[in-house]
Amino acid sequence: MELAAVAGVVGKVRQQRPLVHTITNYVTVNDVANVLLSFGAAPAMVETFDEAYDFALLASAVYLNLGTLTPEQEAAGTEAILGAASVGTPVVVDPVALGAVPHKERALNHLLKIAKPSIIKGNGGEILSLAGVAGATRGVDAAGELAGLEAAAVESARRLGCVIAATGKVDVVTDGLRLARIHNGHKLLTAVSGTGCMAGALVAAATAVEPDPLLAAVAGIAAMGIAGELAAQASALPGSFRVALIDSIYQVDSALFQKMARVDVQPC
Q: Amino acid identity, residue 146?
A: L
Q: Looking at residue 10, what is its pLDDT?
A: 98
Q: What is the pLDDT of residues 167-208, one digit of tens each?
A: 999 999 999 999 999 999 999 999 999 999 999 999 999 999
CA–CA dist 136, 134 (Å, integer):
6
Residue 226 binned pLDDT confidence (cut-offs 50, 70, 90): very high
Instruction: Kindly compute the dihedral angle of the four CA atoms of residues 261, 168, 120, 214, in this order, to the nearest 10 degrees.
Output: 20
Q: Amino acid identity, residue 141?
A: D
Radius of gyration for the alpha carbons in the chain, expressed in angstroms and rounded: 16
Exposed (0-12), middle (13-18) or buried (19+): which is 236, by Cβ within 10 Å?
Answer: exposed
Q: What is the pLDDT of residues 59-89, one digit of tens each?
A: 999 999 999 999 999 999 999 999 999 999 9
Q: What is the pLDDT of residues 106-141, one digit of tens each?
A: 999 999 999 999 999 999 999 999 998 865 555 444
Q: Looking at residue 141, what is its pLDDT?
A: 46
**pTM of the prediction?**
0.95
Q: What is the pLDDT of residues 15-51, one digit of tens each?
A: 999 999 999 999 999 999 999 999 999 999 999 999 9
Q: Looking at residue 146, what is its pLDDT?
A: 54
CA–CA dist 246, 231 (Å, integer):
8
Looking at the structure, give the CATH architecture of the domain made up of residues 7-267: 3-Layer(aba) Sandwich (3.40)
Alpha helices in the chain (DSSP H): 3-16, 29-39, 49-58, 71-87, 102-114, 124-130, 149-160, 195-209, 213-234, 238-251, 254-260
Are 254 and 40 in contact by the 8 Å Cβ rule? The answer is no
CA–CA dist 72, 92 (Å, integer):
19
Going from the C-alpha of 66 to that of each of 11, 78, 106, the distances in angstroms are: 29, 12, 11
201: Cβ–Cβ under 8 A, 6 or more apart, which residues? 20, 22, 24, 32, 35, 36, 43, 63, 220
CA–CA dist 28, 41 (Å, integer):
17
